[in-house]
Amino acid sequence: MLKRRLEEILGKSIINTSGLGGGCIANAQKVETADGGCYLLKSGGLYGMFPKEANGLKEIAKSRTIAVPDVIAADDDFLLLSYIQSGPISPDFFRDFAFSYAQMHRYTNGQYGFYENNYIGETKQLNIPSDKEANDWTRFFFNKRLLYQFKLAESNDYVKQEMRQAFSKIEDNIDLIIGTSKEAPSLLHGDLWGGNYIAAQGGKVVLIDPAVYYGHREADLAMTKVFGGFPPAFYQYYNEAFPLLDGWEYRENIYRLYHILNHLNLFGSSYYSEALQLMRFYD
């Protein structure tokens, strides 16, 4: 049934599909057509997730700063993208990546959040700001990111009293921890780590699997370090292209906390200790 739908969309006959590894939420397949065309098909996952991903890719593409796959078609149960053939990482790859990524962060919006909610992994990500959150990064980040994940962890029965006390201190001091943002809301990938970019043929970086919103770019950079980080040269070149504000090192853990709480909610108590440690950093 899906094959027939795709052939109608493409106007071409599909001659082969083959499974691709790497995804833990959706199924990924390479789709080949009779005229030699190649596409990436994502299916499975949460119903309604794929149009959100498509809109995030389109938002990044609109910035004209860094490459993403072309969105061919999206529906509640599938996403069809251009197929990106990977290639070797060139000596200049992370320099070019950093410069392009910095340019993406210079693409800004008039308020924080996004016009629709989307997903961070399989967790709903709240992006639509209240009137008070639209121009207040600290309020937006605490309410829509930390507090939402913390309440979800409570409902999943992952929160012990020691974490509840540590999070209460975060809430009391969040204005001091984050401070007042002096930058316009930047376009963020939202979930950038080593598995969410491709080194394409020709040495170009291509971003995939976004959880897009407009926020403080420090939050995006903090996510890149959750699983070990990129090579040091990436951060050096980024800071040359778009210097970070003083105090970013102190704020980094509060932004990492969002993603560790999300992993606690997605994958269970193995992330509890790390989440607690990040909270206690601000004791």
Active site residue ranges = 191
How many Å apart are CA 154 and CA 166, to the nearest integer? 14
